[in-house]
Amino acid sequence: MADWVPLNDLSRSIDEHRDELSDAFRDVLRSGWLVLGPQVSALEEELAAYLGCAHVVGVASGTDALMLSIQAAMPPGRSAVVTAANAGGYATTAIHRAGYAARLADVEEADHCLSVRTVEPVLTPEVGVVVVTHLYGQAARVEPIRDLCRHREVALIEDCAQALGAHTATGMAGTIGDLGTLSFYPTKNLGALGDGGAVAANSAELADRVRRLRQYGWTTKYRVGVDGGCNSRLDEVQASILRSRLPRLETWNRRRRDILSRYVHAARPPVRVLGGAATEHVAHLAVAVCPQRGRLADHLAAHRIRTDVHYPVPDHHQPAWADRFTGVSLPVTERLAQQVLTLPLFPQMHEDEVERVCQALAEFC
Ligand SMILES: *Cc1c(COP(=O)(O)O)cnc(C)c1O
């Protein structure tokens, strides 16, 4: 019987450039710097150049990147943050940790992202920040949301954990709003061999505030100049690994996009695979939408194809948060949570594996 087609297989990306990864480790061992050293600074510069923004600040994870960004960007006197409820709960976790209330907005059927239409109704005067997630690697239509935010003196944060390298209508995802957040969790398009994250900024003032908050709020060593800081440093080993992988990101993203577009074309109604215009999508996840999700998952399993659900529980239905969101109803989010099914997609997929997924999709009806 054929092997299972895995959803992802990180050992293949390690095998692809094992020697370079060993060199990246060795460089750090030789240098003797272990946290926030020359590798982190060099990575920050290389990422800023790649994104075309002024500043990047390395932090310990994508969730910390969100939390520190929210803390840095919240205007005085405001207490709430608007975000989507279909993006895995990371933003909501960060909002709560920063000490604010989450205001959940519904998403668009077309791209599963926030829009002006869904954000505007929840943009009450307490709201100081909006977090837009570029979900599954698809660039959200973020410019109209930015204009709405500016008008209300609300800060805009783009969560690019799944979308590093995606282009919006006017620039790279992560550089359109006030701050952009990245995650280097191993399964992301640019993954470390452990945890890591970063914040992208064009404003020197906001970047400085994040830089202080990531290290106890220190302005200089042992001088706490900003309240609310924590320890969220990026270490040298991860930065060195990420530097060795960054030059491969565009090639990997292209391969991801190719695989995704084959699924998009193979799928027949009632299955739709979410795709996007060439450069707007970096295909972090291949997500099918199907009213009979259970049947589709069974059909793929019968063909020995792994699937998963991103994400099964909207934030307002999470058991630990239910009390915070009584009375919240998000019809599109709730329906899509019952219909989404993630297909295997990673750059090192073998051709025959891609073909098997396409055939199984084409056969389902
Ligand atoms: C992975 C992810 C995060 C969190 O990143 P961590 O590094 O795991 O903390 C945040 N937002 C989105 C959309 C993600 O996919």
**pLDDT value for 230:** 98
Two structure tokens written together for 275: 């795709």
> Do residues 94 and 321 lie in contact, with contact meaning Cβ atoms separated by under 8 Å?
no
**pLDDT value for 16:** 95
Nearest residue (by CA) to ligand 1, atom 12, is: 161
Centre of ligand 1 to C-alpha 88, Å, is 8
**pLDDT value for 277:** 75
CA 63 to ligand 1: nearest atom: 9
**pLDDT value for 328:** 97
Summarize pLDDT for 130-185 with one digit per residue, the tens. 999 999 999 999 999 999 999 999 999 999 999 999 999 999 999 999 999 999 99
Low-confidence ranges of the chain (pLDDT < 70): none
Nearest residue (by CA) to ligand 1, atom 5, is: 62
**pLDDT value for 2:** 87
Which residues does residue 183 pair with via DSSP β-bridges, in sequence order?
197
Two structure tokens written together for 282: 């970096």
Averaged confidence pLDDT in the chain: 97
Q: Provide the 8-state DSSP code for 92.
A: H
Two structure tokens written together for 343: 């297909």
How many CA atoms are closer than 13 Å to the CA of 20, on its beta-carbon side? 14
* Collapsed DSSP state (helix, strand, coil) of residue 28: helix
**pLDDT value for 21:** 97
> Do residues 103 and 125 lie in contact, with contact meaning Cβ atoms separated by under 8 Å?
no
Centre of ligand 1 to C-alpha 159, Å, is 8
For the question of whether the overall pTM of this predicted structure is more than 0.95, the answer is yes
